[in-house]
Structure 1
């Protein structure tokens, strides 16, 4: 490898912005610039990962495919797809690798099938490859056996098959301390080589035919492009919006319709560690923003599946909504700590998230936003969902007076301003849905309580000296989540405009924004907050300012447009889990909001 700025880094524990993501609607693989796959839970995204070098350099497991010697790297997503194309250039030639998690003829495959196609473009390129399973974060001890169909790796209840075509597979070395399947081959102009990794959990393994998998890559490309054709957006920042929509599509768990918050667990929010959470769960908040965005693009299947999943989950496990659910719709609160060092040794590594069980009033606003977005798109709620919303609206009328843990899931229970605004949004949407005939009963009480909430916020949550809505009554702290309630319609006037300026002074670092006062000592800037500021600017009429900010923010993604949870404002480094749904959703929402405000101003 060389010192060329496009050359790949050599060390493990690589920068998080070096990863691209591919997926199949069931799991996601993260591929680094050396062609290595350092993260792939199989066959489901929430499973213990068989390939997790991202969190454990030594025993995490990986899938490597890399040229011998020095090389340069250029990569991209094939247009309109989540299929990655990486071009390696060496002294002796050029070769192209196409990576896909393959879909079937009739949609998602019932197993995981990773396909890596290597094509010779010019000259000759020598490749070596290795499939090395990990210990699934210290929970299993893998082994490999040779069968008449090739190598099979056993990792607890997970079975992994490794096959290929012209891939130069070698017999496993019994003396090797690490279980691995490996091989080597050379490309020539027009040559074609396949490496295929297929996996199942607690069921038989169908060993794929590499020739059929080769065809499956092209089918997967066509499938992604068909989806992209249905995606309707013609406005500013279209390439970034399209890429964020495709990244978000990776995070829609097809078996249930749930929205996964991020593809990974335990990637730290700071070099000091400690704030390492598992985001392979479905937050109601993320689902609300997803439906609100995707319905505006005319996407039907995803929005319907998401609302149906949420409605069933609440009815089955209610009566109150949980903050988040497992991808199957069941509430989950168990947190396991794993014996793994973490990314660059920054632990802990955990499975699960401890925020469950908190009272977060904003979740009620999220539930109603999902339903309103769905109805306003011309759809109809079923009776059971309508009755559920009526019960929840009545509950909000009483519950809004309670302190909670806030949007940021904080340990200190307070009367958080953004939570009260979320309750206002819930009742505002309940009134709207009732007037549309989608929620039974009368809206009189909901409308009256909605105005009481507005008055209470105006009287208790505004600080004239600061010129801002504060985080909570009696506090001088700022909270960027208040900016969400410019688009929600709570306030698009002078007070919100002054709050934006206060947040810019107190929480912004350049174009990026911290979540709330004092948190800069614990973590980096939160990507979504920066886009929320752009949205809020547009809502208060400062469209030119919003546009200039947005122009800069859309460049914050990595070379293939992936966004993380957090960014270090000093050096632009990625931190936290990725791809992060909320970050991509915030980009999409900001673009749509700015476009809509501009169109309203012209009409």
Structure 2
């Protein structure tokens, strides 16, 4: 049910074409759809501004119920609407081309009569690009188009020709019968001419897109437990892979709140080094060669081209992010602020050194070879890590308070350990003896400063008894003691747990929802520490907490999630880190992981 025009976050499904993502509520309304790129100002953004944000609706005129599923092996959504008079299927696709993504954006909505007859109504109503532009309709010799700032949109119909043209929108009605097929499509470009395909070509493009997705899924190699959930999560990650550059977006949205009181709203339409590392790890395990090479090459290319080697994240085109702006729109359910941009770009986060070396090490261990300039760059970064680990940083959670965060030191240890490994393989030059020495110094520092016997856990940072779930990422690492890490898992679940889920760090229980990725990190940690039965039982429960089509946001609100009801989501959606954590937990369990090693090959 919508509240003041806003659907719950968990009511959305996502479709994409390698450039952008559209979010479709279970009532058939597309409330988020940037055109043509994921990080451009969204022409359709009722998700954040119900009154003026813009939407594309398709629904029965009478009362209805819905069920949804993705076409097998795809990111093409099929919604079944049932009314008193009949049943229809609506197939939603962001179409792809014969040789990859189309050079324009093509959203297709096919409506097929299944039973009886159903009166359908639809509307294409662009919004204000978060309060920065005014849409208008424009007559041409080839029909009416819609324009918003530099975006031009065309609407194509098939057997849905009862159309009403208004100054800022196009709408219509039609009636389905058994076996009927109708189509409403939206095509768009930005600051370039608009191609208007014939409706029949758009309709056939849906079938081609289904085939393209299924061809990709045939390359997906995983036959372990929780196969369907892992496959859906891999498809969700594929939605976030920005094909023009190879970058991987953290999520498809901005400004969906992490707490009901607001003020924790961020823009996740950027490529984090951390998330890229975790994604590549999963893609390598699935045997998806093209995406792996594109992501690795993208990351190394932009690091070489920028003087700042400690950059936390980049734009999807590989640029250093600029500042933030705050559009004057209400935000989802009035929980603001809405933000374009993310101020964490300027922070020092030492964990990214471990993430970067993890990426490269996995890439090399998969049978690939580094070029000479990349080898020299990595040697320089390893030398930088030898010095910078002694500094305080903002930690994984991008906090304003800098500290000697335990998980940051663990990340630096991992960076140097992987640098030594690459040096031994002849992939990077440099004095490996220094890296070995500093790596061992870091391990000793962690042992001396980050363990609290009274707390029975590795603490958030030296001198505190507070806890941080990100240390779970280093379970099984040789920089920590397995018995101590096992006790840490128990302490984290005792203090930060809410049912099967986990908050990020101490003090968040009254501030935000549980962090989905942290819950799956517990699974991975238990598996690496020889507690496989516990890990399996927890995994069985956690995979059921996604929405009806298997997608996850950033957080789950345990206080508003009733038993046997869908989880209440918070935060940006779909969230790559949540799906990555599910995947890596399943892969760790499926591998029958030896608790003396970690999943990074050490």
TM-score above 0.5: yes
Describe the SS at the equivalent of 2:521: helix
CA contact (8 A) 1:76 1:86 kept: yes
Describe the SS at the equivalent of 2:97: coil
Match of 1:121 among 106, 110, 114: 114
- Where does residue 5 of structure 1 map in the other structure? none
- Residues 307-456 of structure 1 aligned to structure 2 (within 5 Å): 307-456=296-445
Q: What is the alpha-carbon distance in structure 2 between the residues aligned to residue 599 and residue 112 of structure 1?
A: 47
Point out where structure 1 has 5 or more consecutive residues left out of the alignment.
1-7
Match of 1:14 among 7, 14, 24: 7
- Where does residue 600 of structure 2 map in the other structure? none
1:73–1:403 CA distance, 2 compared to 1 (3 A): same
Describe the SS at the equivalent of 2:111: strand
- Where does residue 41 of structure 1 map in the other structure? 34
- Where does residue 585 of structure 1 map in the other structure? 580
- Where does residue 471 of structure 1 map in the other structure? 460
TM (normalized to structure 1)? 0.96
1:574 is the counterpart of 2:569: yes
1:424–1:155 CA distance, 2 compared to 1 (3 A): same
1:254 is the counterpart of 2:243: yes
Describe the SS at the equivalent of 2:400: coil
Q: What is the alpha-carbon distance in structure 2 between the residues aligned to residue 10 and residue 67 of structure 1?
A: 20
- Where does residue 208 of structure 1 map in the other structure? 197
TM (normalized to structure 2)? 0.96
CA contact (8 A) 1:25 1:252 kept: yes
CA contact (8 A) 1:355 1:409 kept: yes
- Where does residue 271 of structure 2 map in the other structure? 282
Deviations 1:468-524 (Å, cap 9, x if unpaired)?
Answer: 000000011100000000155533610100000110111111111000000222211
CA contact (8 A) 1:9 1:33 kept: no
Residues 366-375 or 11-20, more deviating = 11-20
Post-superposition shift, 1:150?
2.8
CA contact (8 A) 2:137 2:166 kept: no
Q: How many residues align?
A: 590
CA contact (8 A) 2:4 2:333 kept: no
Describe the SS at the equivalent of 2:455: coil
Q: What is the alpha-carbon distance in structure 1 between the residues aligned to residue 166 and residue 337 of structure 2?
A: 33
Q: What is the alpha-carbon distance in structure 2 between the residues aligned to residue 319 and residue 267 of structure 1?
A: 29
- Where does residue 462 of structure 1 map in the other structure? 451
- Give RMSD over aligned pairs: 1.3
CA contact (8 A) 1:486 1:496 kept: yes
1:241 is the counterpart of 2:230: yes
- Where does residue 519 of structure 1 map in the other structure? 508
Post-superposition shift, 1:443?
1.3
Post-superposition shift, 1:318?
2.5
Post-superposition shift, 1:599?
7.9
Deviations 1:285-329 (Å, cap 9, x if unpaired)?
Answer: 000000111101111011101110000111101241310000011
Q: What is the alpha-carbon distance in structure 2 between the residues aligned to residue 493 and residue 559 of structure 1?
A: 37
Describe the SS at the equivalent of 1:450: helix
Deviations 1:411-464 (Å, cap 9, x if unpaired)?
Answer: 111100000000000001101111111111231110111010000000000000
- Residues 16-31 of structure 1 aligned to structure 2 (within 5 Å): 16-31=9-24
1:107 is the counterpart of 2:100: yes
CA contact (8 A) 2:476 2:529 kept: no
Match of 1:143 among 126, 136, 139: 136
- Where does residue 180 of structure 2 map in the other structure? 191
Post-superposition shift, 1:10?
8.0
Q: What is the alpha-carbon distance in structure 1 between the residues aligned to residue 357 and residue 478 of structure 2?
A: 14
1:223 is the counterpart of 2:212: yes
1:10–1:469 CA distance, 2 compared to 1 (3 A): closer
CA contact (8 A) 2:476 2:482 kept: no
Q: What is the alpha-carbon distance in structure 2 between the residues aligned to residue 211 and residue 321 of structure 1?
A: 50
Post-superposition shift, 1:168?
2.5
Q: What is the alpha-carbon distance in structure 2 between the residues aligned to residue 261 and residue 487 of structure 1?
A: 26
Deviations 1:46-70 (Å, cap 9, x if unpaired)?
Answer: 0000000000010000000000111
Deviations 1:237-289 (Å, cap 9, x if unpaired)?
Answer: 11100000000000000000001000000000011000000000000000000
- Where does residue 95 of structure 1 map in the other structure? 88
CA contact (8 A) 2:416 2:435 kept: yes
CA contact (8 A) 2:447 2:480 kept: no
CA contact (8 A) 1:150 1:162 kept: no
Post-superposition shift, 1:110?
1.2
Q: What is the alpha-carbon distance in structure 2 between the residues aligned to residue 401 and residue 105 of structure 1?
A: 52
Q: What is the alpha-carbon distance in structure 2 between the residues aligned to residue 343 and residue 411 of structure 1?
A: 25
1:483–1:340 CA distance, 2 compared to 1 (3 A): same
- Residues 538-549 of structure 1 aligned to structure 2 (within 5 Å): 538-549=527-538
Post-superposition shift, 1:232?
0.1
Describe the SS at the equivalent of 1:593: helix
CA contact (8 A) 1:21 1:29 kept: yes
Match of 1:157 among 150, 153, 174: 150
Q: What is the alpha-carbon distance in structure 1 between the residues aligned to residue 181 and residue 594 of structure 2?
A: 50
Post-superposition shift, 1:166?
1.1
- Where does residue 252 of structure 2 map in the other structure? 263
